[in-house]
Structure 1
Amino acid sequence: MKKKMHILVPTDFSPASRAGIRFAIQWSQQQNAHLTFVHVMHIVRPTRWTDKQYDTFAASERALYTKKLRAFIADIQRRQPLRPKSWSLVLLEGFNADLALIDYCREHPGIGLVCMGTKGANRTRRIFGTNTGNFILQSDKPVIAVPATYRRKPISRVTYASDLADAARELKQVVALAGPLHAKVGILHLTETGETTPDPETLKKLWKKEAGRNVTIEFRKADPAVSIAKNLQQTARTLQPSLLILFSNRRRTFFQSLLYPSNAERLAVAATVPLLVLGKEG
């Protein structure tokens, strides 16, 4: 029996969270997937309280947020025709939501994807990070960033944005994810000025042999006046794939990530289509 996909879906009760949940439910309809809806709460303890006072208050807060989480999910289900086939609720406690989610993922190695809504970032949060951006940087799980404007539709076409340096190996991971969804796979490569592009037919034959599946390839000329992340964002807005896939090198120091945010992090906070970020080797 094929193993069921396990998707973790964090929520903070915001409109962006609703978008992430809608996308996760759509995924669960196309693949045999279990959804775990999770909320991270922080319980403040006044110093004057006894252990008994705190335990009583904490228990009431857990009950309150469990009820709120159930009502939030139920409201989303009422507003759309699809329902998750298999799901559960989890309430976590922690001062930092990112770290609490990272720890939960480490304790549950069966989680295959994390699906998060994102509402973008103002200037301050672009400097110090966002929940989605921080999680992408730290997580060893594939992360889907879903824009708050997302409206449910079938996941029919995924676009893998590639620099072609390690396309054959990375494509196997893309195909492994897209296959159970019965989605078409396309590769997008942004060409720079003076770059010689390989023959598309030769590449398609090579990739079919490596990945065992037909794929399409599209070359788009990059605008040298803007960043690669901005180019990808503009191209995604034009192509409108069901899912944009990007590989990101997460093995960077804190200061590197602070000064030089990755394309994946930039795209996650300015997403126009759902973005799936996978870890890049090296």
Structure 2
Amino acid sequence: METIIVTTDLSVNSKAAIRFAINLARARKAQLIVLHIYHVLRPTIWSENAYQVYKQSIINQTEKDITVFVKKIINSMNLSDVNFRLIMKDHVDATEGILEFIAAHTCNYICIGTRGAGAIKKIIGTHTSRLIIHSSVPVICIPSGYRNRPFKRLLYATDMNNYEAELIRLVDFVRPLQAELRMLHMAAENEFILDTASAEESLEKKMNYKVEVVNHQRNVLYSVLQEINIETKQYKPSMIAFFTHQNRSLLDKLILPSNAAEFSFYSQIPMISFKKG
């Protein structure tokens, strides 16, 4: 059975991610884990015993609060058959705690709420962008203002490098959702433009799933993300998919950020990011 993880800090921003994770788990018949990273500070004057008693009381209360929090979300969705497992992990850094957990446990997708970030946070890195850069598990970013709606179509932005292997993973994701899949590539000046009809016919045979292909010359007046945004406004996808390079140097990441990490700061629709390669 697949496992889907959704993180929460009991904030309003995490509600949309929990709703999305619930629907995804139901569609994929997967186990749902609600993950909460916590850390209880210890006053220096306290004895170890006093601290442990206090810490356990905080853990017990937080478990109750999160259980009520998630059950209220389930009730608001008019569902009664949703089972979830709550896991609490102690770590001083929330992102590192999440990464340690998914490294030690088998899971298929991780959902996290995002509300964007200002200029300073872009440089330091939000929880979401750090997960995208470091996670071996596909990260699904859900904007805090997102509202549940039928999942109809996914837009896959590609550089055409290893795209067939990437499409296999995307088809596996969209098939249970019975969603459309569109592959978008903006070709550089010296790149070959695909015959879209032939490409679609070939891909449908290989994937056993219909893939719409959009391939056109890049407009040098726009950045890649600007062109993706133009396509997004026209196509109105339910989600955007990226495959992210995670092995670039820190300097590379600062000069030319990952499309996925950068997009997560201002996207108004859900995004899924896979590790490339």
TM-score, L = length of structure 2: 0.93
TM-fit CA distance, 1:34 = 1.4
What does 1:203-242 correspond to in 2, within 5 Å?
Answer: 203-219=199-215, 222-242=218-238
Q: Does 1:277 align with 2:273?
A: yes
The equivalent residue for 1:180 is: 176
Q: Any stretches of 5+ residues in structure 1 without a counterpart?
A: none
CA contact (8 A) 2:193 2:217 kept: no
Moved more, 202-211 or 15-24: 202-211
The equivalent residue for 2:37 is: 40
TM-fit CA distance, 1:220 = 5.4
Amino acid at match of 2:206: E
Shift in alpha-carbon separation, 1:221–1:64, aligned structure 2, 3 A:
farther
Q: Does 1:168 align with 2:164?
A: yes
Distance 1:116 1:161 in 2: 21
Equivalent of 1:72 in 59, 62, 69:
69
Distance 1:52 1:261 in 2: 47
Distance 1:39 1:28 in 2: 18
SS in 2 for 1:86: coil
CA contact (8 A) 2:74 2:82 kept: no
TM-fit CA distance, 1:68 = 1.6
Shift in alpha-carbon separation, 1:14–1:70, aligned structure 2, 3 A:
same
The equivalent residue for 1:53 is: 50
Q: Does 1:258 align with 2:247?
A: no
The equivalent residue for 2:9 is: 12
CA contact (8 A) 2:112 2:140 kept: yes
Distance 1:256 1:192 in 2: 20
Shift in alpha-carbon separation, 1:202–1:249, aligned structure 2, 3 A:
same
Amino acid at match of 2:54: F
Shift in alpha-carbon separation, 1:126–1:226, aligned structure 2, 3 A:
farther
Distance 2:103 2:265 in 1: 24
CA contact (8 A) 1:143 1:276 kept: yes
What does 1:189-204 correspond to in 2, within 5 Å?
Answer: 189-192=185-188, 196-204=192-200
TM-fit CA distance, 1:202 = 1.4
What does 1:52-201 correspond to in 2, within 5 Å?
Answer: 52-82=49-79, 85-109=82-106, 111-192=107-188, 196-201=192-197
How many residue pairs align between the two structures? 277
Shift in alpha-carbon separation, 1:16–1:220, aligned structure 2, 3 A:
farther
Amino acid at match of 2:215: F
Deviations 1:190-229 (A, max 9, x none): 2445754210011112212332222111235644334212
TM-fit CA distance, 1:87 = 1.2
CA contact (8 A) 1:30 1:180 kept: yes
Moved more, 168-177 or 154-163: 154-163
Amino acid at match of 1:172: I
TM-fit CA distance, 1:268 = 1.4
Shift in alpha-carbon separation, 1:94–1:29, aligned structure 2, 3 A:
same
The equivalent residue for 1:27 is: 24
Distance 1:30 1:270 in 2: 27
Deviating beyond 4 angstroms after TM superposition, the runs of 4 or more aligned structure 1 residues are: 192-196, 220-223
Shift in alpha-carbon separation, 1:63–1:223, aligned structure 2, 3 A:
farther
TM-fit CA distance, 1:271 = 1.4
CA contact (8 A) 2:193 2:216 kept: no
Distance 2:146 2:81 in 1: 18
TM-fit CA distance, 1:274 = 0.8
TM-fit CA distance, 1:241 = 1.2
